[in-house]
Structure 1
Amino acid sequence: MNDDDIQQRRVDALKALVGKYKTKAEFARKYGIEPSYVSQLLGGHRGFGEKSARNMEEKLGLPPNYLDQGQGGAQGDYAIGNVKPAYEPPTTRKAPVISHVQAGGWSEAIDIFAPGYAERWEPVPETACPNAFWLEVRGDSMTAPAGLSIPEGYLVLVEPGVQEENGSLVVAKLDDENEATFKKLVIDGPNKYLKPLNPDYRTITINGNCRIVGTVTEVKMKLR
């Protein structure tokens, strides 16, 4: 089977899954996918390569290579003997774990399924905004000696659609930095600051030199 045949199988399988919803937009909202991306795949205007297929399966909570079975495979889960149980859409959404460099340009990102955008996905609440993402904490600037502390290696869920306020933990992109930074937002009258939880690090004054990428709404530790 050549690559064109496999890509067509993936399109057919995706059509079968999307067909379980009233509209493509409803399907896309359910799993936090850009509706335009779904339309491009189904219309053949975008290639449905190996990495895109595996990312889509991860996003939808499907087994690896599930989409390669085509429309017939999408009618059920794994084939066991001659029995194929009816497919039930998963209820757990997932969001990508991205790098600090990717986070810096996230608000401009249109296609989160672009090759290389994310090799890893983690569950998020159903209420999370469609373009939410996970960011792994690096360094010890948010490690505090007392009170709230978020050490290196923790995952933070960033939601660009949640309005930040005084005391919010935020991911911000400084104009003179290539990467995003994770800090506490402090608003004091007309003044705003990005404050690390670790007192050994300096507080950054916001004076038009940065933009808020998103608000952190959840923190978790990944042991494995």
Structure 2
Amino acid sequence: MERHERIARAIALSGKKKGEIAALCGVANSAVTQWISGESKSLRPENLYALAKATGFRAEWLAIGEGSETEAYESNVASTRQPIESFRYPVISWVAAGAWAEAVEPFPPGFSDRYELSDYNSKGPAFWLEVKGDSMTSPVGTSITEGTLILVDTEADVQSGKLVIAKLADSDQATFKKLVDDGGRRYLKPLNPAYPTEMCAENCRIVGVVVRALQKL
């Protein structure tokens, strides 16, 4: 299903008229018509967020067809559609992620020119990273392939077994690994067994916990 077809479906099932959708999104009626017809090839993140909120459909599904259309809510009377909130987070570089631990103001105005949406409401400042390399690609179980966008919450609970972004003292970049606690010592373990496990000692800082993964086809 093409994006404009998903948008048309969401608007139709929302029960709202195009004029109502336009008003809720802060755009002209003609813009909504172009979204539905596919004439408009671009859709600003703020418009996508507003459209998701207006229709009750997930922004990620509207944008790229990822995941379910909506979150399901059921009662003992009937199932209902509920508006799903979407949140906008910047996509940053691995060097910028590594600098997070030392930065006084990690995200100054104009820090990033690219943003992605998620239904995850972060506990603290959050950002997306694009996975590089195959150290987290596993032949079995959880596998995060190169090119996947991962969402990092800098104030999520850090626990053993979580996938984390860490900063080692001898590197200017962040690293993506699984945090493992063994006998009171913490280690950073890749999901790919071909790569070595590193110790997360005193000079190792956990930048945040990976809470979402978005793989674009």
TM-score for both structures, normalised by structure 1: 0.58
Q: Choose which of 91, 107, 115 in structure 2 pairs with 1:112.
A: 107
Whole-angstrom CA distance in 2 between matches of 1:182 and 1:76: 37
Whole-angstrom CA distance in 1 between matches of 2:106 and 2:201: 31
Aligned to 2:27: 78
- Structure 1 residue 92: Cα displacement: 2.2
- Structure 1 residue 126: Cα displacement: 4.9
Aligned to 1:124: 118
Residue 148 in structure 1 maps to residue 142 in structure 2: yes
Distance 1:199 1:76, change over 3 A: closer
Question: How large is the RMSD of aligned CA atoms in angstroms?
Answer: 2.6
Identity, % of aligned pairs?
45
Whole-angstrom CA distance in 2 between matches of 1:96 and 1:103: 11
Q: How does 1:15-164 map to 2 (within 5 A)?
A: 77-79=26-28, 91-107=85-101, 108=103, 110=105, 112-115=107-110, 117-164=111-158
- Structure 1 residue 184: Cα displacement: 0.2
Q: Choose which of 185, 194, 205 in structure 1 pairs with 2:199.
A: 205
CA contact (8 A) 2:86 2:119 kept: yes
Whole-angstrom CA distance in 2 between matches of 1:193 and 1:111: 26
The one-letter amino acid paired with 1:175 is A
Aligned to 1:158, what secondary structure does the other structure show? strand
- Structure 1 residue 128: Cα displacement: 1.7
Aligned to 1:98, what secondary structure does the other structure show? coil
Aligned to 1:157, what secondary structure does the other structure show? strand
Aligned to 2:172: 178
CA contact (8 A) 2:124 2:156 kept: no
How many residue pairs match? The answer is: 144
Aligned to 1:189: 183
- Structure 1 residue 110: Cα displacement: 2.3
Distance 1:111 1:187, change over 3 A: closer
For structure 2, the residue ranges without an aligned partner over 5 or more in a row are 1-23, 31-46, 54-84
- Structure 1 residue 159: Cα displacement: 0.4
Per-residue CA deviation, residues 165-219 of structure 1 (Å, 9 max, x unaligned), is 1100000011110100000000012111000001111100122121000001111
Moved over 6 A (4+): none
Aligned to 2:167, what secondary structure does the other structure show? strand
The one-letter amino acid paired with 2:105 is I
Per-residue CA deviation, residues 64-99 of structure 1 (Å, 9 max, x unaligned), is xxxxxxxxxxx9823569xxxxx9965422101111
Aligned to 1:186, what secondary structure does the other structure show? strand
TM-score for both structures, normalised by structure 2: 0.60
Whole-angstrom CA distance in 2 between matches of 1:188 and 1:145: 23
For structure 1, the residue ranges without an aligned partner over 5 or more in a row are 1-74, 82-86
